[in-house]
């Protein structure tokens, strides 16, 4: 497999764009990435598009209608919350395999005020239903249950989950691409409307619209096109799904596939958790972020509460360590499903390359970063990038 680099990135501010179409949102991010890379659409040899809610509508081809059709192969990807990051991985594999030298990945979604999302995995298939087991198949309940298990097993407190929300909202104030940029206090979070215990309103990610794009190139093309600019290398690109366990069908396991993906990603990259300067992980709910601290090896099993109390996950500029979701994460930046995976990678790339788009929140001396997304049903991607 060849070395693959991220030559350019593009992202729109997450929010709500009722007057724009999905292809228009994706095209805006794509054109920004092309400009950042210093190339045109004529230089792109393969295109991977991630979109979930219009997955049968040839979104990739419709984006190319906006930015210039060139006859290149287009892959449309739908993989739950890991849709965008799976599209990115397709673009990565196309270059790493030697088939192409320049590829593009775009993740885009238009969700507006869609409201609470249902469970993944089997749709209405009763074999996958969580009804009667945890009371609801809606995502707040599924991830609330994951938090409850951690509380039962390790004595984690509601306050620990609330501190994650406070941290993420604080981080978002430095991110102009974030859907929400308002600070919240610990009291605000803990006294907010309960959605699914222990997740209150501020512990749940908002829905909205968004798009992000990346241009990937081989090492030879990097030398031709980068002009000496620092560019991030993809040190590991891993995709996993759930192995069989007795509990899978009726009680979703949000941890096992992440643990397996992390183990493999660190092995491929030749790095460990302590080498990671920043992590953008899938914090669809505060409970998810907490359990993923342990799943990704940022702290030991049962130590997430202590990790939080000691400043874990907080930007070093705010007195923390092992920063997580300095973008504001899904809790503040937003979670337009198809866009999330590529957006997480963009954030990591910006810090590694000291891009001006992350200037206000730059993590100092960042040499390696990790982007993580899971989708129940199931899919987990982890990308480790280095400079």
Element (H or E) spanning 158, and its range? helix 158-172
CB of 282 closer than 8 Å to CB of 383: no
204 annotated active-site: no
Rounded distance, CA 315 to CA 325, Å?
9
Q: CA torsion sign, 241 to 242 to 248 to 254?
A: negative
Catalytic residue among 81, 299, 346, 380: 81
Rounded distance, CA 113 to CA 99, Å?
41
Rounded distance, CA 92 to CA 1, Å?
10
CB of 15 closer than 8 Å to CB of 209: yes
CB of 336 closer than 8 Å to CB of 209: yes
Rounded distance, CA 226 to CA 231, Å?
8
Rounded distance, CA 362 to CA 360, Å?
6
Residues 6+ apart with CB under 8 A from 56: none
List, in sequence order, every residue forming a beta bridge with 383; answer none if it has no partner.
Answer: 237, 371
- Both tokens of 338, joined, read 């198809």
Give whole-number Cα distances, 228 to 34, 140, 222, 231, 368, in Å: 17, 46, 9, 9, 19
Tell me whether strands 74-77 and 278-280 are parallel, antiparallel or unpaired.
unpaired
The residues assigned a catalytic role are 81
């Amino acid at each position: 497999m060849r070395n693959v680099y991220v030559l350019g990135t593009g992202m729109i501010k997450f929010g709500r764009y009722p007057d724009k179409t999905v292809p228009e949102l994706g095209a805006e991010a794509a054109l920004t990435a092309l400009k950042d890379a210093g190339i045109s659409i004529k230089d792109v040899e393969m295109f991977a598009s991630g979109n979930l809610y219009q997955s049968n509508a040839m979104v990739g081809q419709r984006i190319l209608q906006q930015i210039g059709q060139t006859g290149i192969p287009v892959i449309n990807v739908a993989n739950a919350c890991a849709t965008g990051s799976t599209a990115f991985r397709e673009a990565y594999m196309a270059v790493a395999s030697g088939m192409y030298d320049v590829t593009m990945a775009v993740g885009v979604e238009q969700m507006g005020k869609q409201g609470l999302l249902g469970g993944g995995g089997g749709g209405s298939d009763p074999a996958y239903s969580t009804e009667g087991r945890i009371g609801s198949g809606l995502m707040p309940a599924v991830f609330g249950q994951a938090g409850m298990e951690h509380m039962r097993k390790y004595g984690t407190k509601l306050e620990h989950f609330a501190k994650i929300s406070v941290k993420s909202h604080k981080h978002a104030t430095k991110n102009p691409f974030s859907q929400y940029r308002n600070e919240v206090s610990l009291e605000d979070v803990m006294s907010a409307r309960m959605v699914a215990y222990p997740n209150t309103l501020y512990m749940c990610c908002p829905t909205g619209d968004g798009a992000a794009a990346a241009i990937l190139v081989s090492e030879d093309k990097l030398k031709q096109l980068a002009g000496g600019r620092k560019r991030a290398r993809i040190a590991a690109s891993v995709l996993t799904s759930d192995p069989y366990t007795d509990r899978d069908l009726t009680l979703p396991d949000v941890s096992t596939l992440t643990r397996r993906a992390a183990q493999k990603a660190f092995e491929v990259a030749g790095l460990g958790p302590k080498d990671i300067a920043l992590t953008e992980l899938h914090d669809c709910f505060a409970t998810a972020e907490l359990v993923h601290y342990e799943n990704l090896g940022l702290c030991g099993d049962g130590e997430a509460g202590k990790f939080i109390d000691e400043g874990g996950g907080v930007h070093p500029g705010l007195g923390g360590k092992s920063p997580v979701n300095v973008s504001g994460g899904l809790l503040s930046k937003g979670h337009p499903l198809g866009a999330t995976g590529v957006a997480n990678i963009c954030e990591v790339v910006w810090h590694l390359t000291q891009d001006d788009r992350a200037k206000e929140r730059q993590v100092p001396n960042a040499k390696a970063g990790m982007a993580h997304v899971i989708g129940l049903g199931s899919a987990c991607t982890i990308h480790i990038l280095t400079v």
